[in-house]
Structure 1
Amino acid sequence: MAKKQKRNTKGNIITAAWQLFYEQGYDNTTVDEIIASAKTSKGSFYHYFNGKDALLSTLAYLFDEKYEELMENMEESMNSYEKLLFLNQELFTMIENSISIDLLARLLSTQLVTRGEKSLLDRSRLYYRLLSKIILEGQTSGELRTDISVGEIVKAYAICERAFMYDWCISGGEYSLRSYSQRMLPIFLSDFRASRNE
């Protein structure tokens, strides 16, 4: 029970912070406002984070919360290819609707220069575990190629998603991230589908 409470406290801080960042901008949001919005204490905040900047790398945590929610909403009738497209579309919809381009760009830039943990590459994240599960299911059912390992397909998929986000940021959001991915991701993923002749 204590572990769940601990997770909830940290999660509440992260969720509150990113909501405020989106509504009023990162620079205009104070730690005190985050604490008040999360309904927690200053001590709890500083137990998990040494300041506002430390929250930038937690966007990956927010993404994983979204994936946890999506896992419950995926139809069992979906094949692995459809699941991968569904996850991407839902994540990119969330990004367009609740994460500003400036904040996403800050996250990507911190990942480039940080010497510590790179949250986007953390293989223990739910994101990587979920992708691995879906891809393994696809290989087992004969839908996805087996001459490429699960790990390599996961890595390629993750690289593709980061590339879409990166380009969207440097383009200043001049196009819809979700719509562009909806057109292009199926083309990218088609190479990982098993040949019908096999």
Structure 2
Amino acid sequence: MKAENYSRTDRRKAWIREQIISGALEAFSEMGYMKTTVNDITSRADVGHGTFYHYFKNKQDLLSKLVDDLAEKVDDYVQPKNMQLTVYERMKYEAQRILEYYVNNSSILLALKEALMVDRQFEEQWLKISESLFKRIERDIKGSIQKGYCHDINVDVTIRALTCMFEGYGHHLMVQPVTPAEIQEVAKSLTDFCYKAVFKE
């Protein structure tokens, strides 16, 4: 449904929800997920407690819905639009998009990682995002092994090692200022490393 087809009430509800989400992300970034309270969120969103609870059950429910929305965007965000890319070009494109995904969604992802330490309910959501981000690496490598393009490697160990490497560097980029040019440079370096380690010359 187009925005102009929404009623004034629907548009106002959507605006209030976005205000609450914006306030939550601001609070998460400033204070961390654990220290943030509903009061911290409502004061930044300039809404009352009753309004908050009309949209979300609690802080955990708000984060859970943010993560669900984020997980739905992973495939489209990382999937190359150009189907004529070589394996190396596709890996480099996907590496850059994975790192950009971490940086562009750092407020939600950092809150999720913090919430994971104390609330097991978020484990499944984290795994869903992680598996969506890295299933293309698995597909590229397994497909190339079948064609004889790769060294004799333990596939599962290699894929897990590469996944951990990207996750680790993604976390590193989330907690410090980074430019698009720096992301491109890191993506190229990681791709070169992976490609040379896995693929035959």
TM, length-normalised to structure 1: 0.58
> 2:141 pairs with 120, 135, 139, which one?
135
Structure 1 pair 144–91 and aligned structure 2 pair: CA distance change class (3 A): same
Of the candidates 84, 95, 100, which is equivalent to residue 93 of structure 1?
100
Contact 2:74 2:133 in 1 (8 A): no
How far the C-alpha of 1:63 sits from its partner, in A, is 4.8
RMSD: 4.0
* Matched letter for residue 164 of structure 1: Y
Looking at structure 2, the residues matched to 175 and 113 of structure 1 have their Cα atoms a distance apart, in angstroms, of: 32
User: Which of 158, 161, 164 is the equivalent residue of 2:163?
Assistant: 158
Structure 2 equivalent of residue 108 of structure 1: 113
| 1:147-188 Cα shifts (integer Å, max 9, x gaps) | 221x33332222112111222244x32666624522431243
Percent identical among aligned pairs is 13
Q: Number of aligned residue pairs: give it.
A: 164
Aligned pairs for 1:41-190 within 5 A: 42=54, 50-56=57-63, 59=67, 62-63=70-71, 65-71=73-79, 73-96=80-103, 98-100=104-106, 102-118=107-123, 119-122=125-128, 125-149=131-155, 151-170=156-175, 172-173=176-177, 178-190=183-195
Residue of structure 1 equivalent to 2:33: none
SS at match of 1:20: helix
Higher-helix-fraction structure: 2
Once residues 99 and 76 of structure 2 are traced to their aligned partners in structure 1, the CA distance between those partners, rounded to angstroms, is: 15
Larger Rg: 2
Q: Could you report, residue by residue, the CA deviation over 1:100-134 in whole angstroms, capped at 9, with x for unpaired residues? A: 4x543322223344434523334994334433322
CA distance in 2, matches of 1:159, 1:78: 25
Structure 1 runs of 4+ with >6 Å offset = none
- What is the CA distance between 1:92 and its match in structure 2? 2.6
TM-score (norm 2): 0.58
Name the CA distance, whole Å, in 2 between partners of 1:81 and 1:22.
39
Q: Which moved more, 1:81-90 or 1:18-27?
A: 18-27
Aligned residue for 1:173, secondary structure, equals: coil
Answer yes or no: is the 8 Å Cα contact 2:92–2:191 preserved in 1.
yes
* CA gap 1:160/1:112 in 2 versus in 1, 3 angstroms: farther
**What secondary structure does 1:78 align onto?**
coil
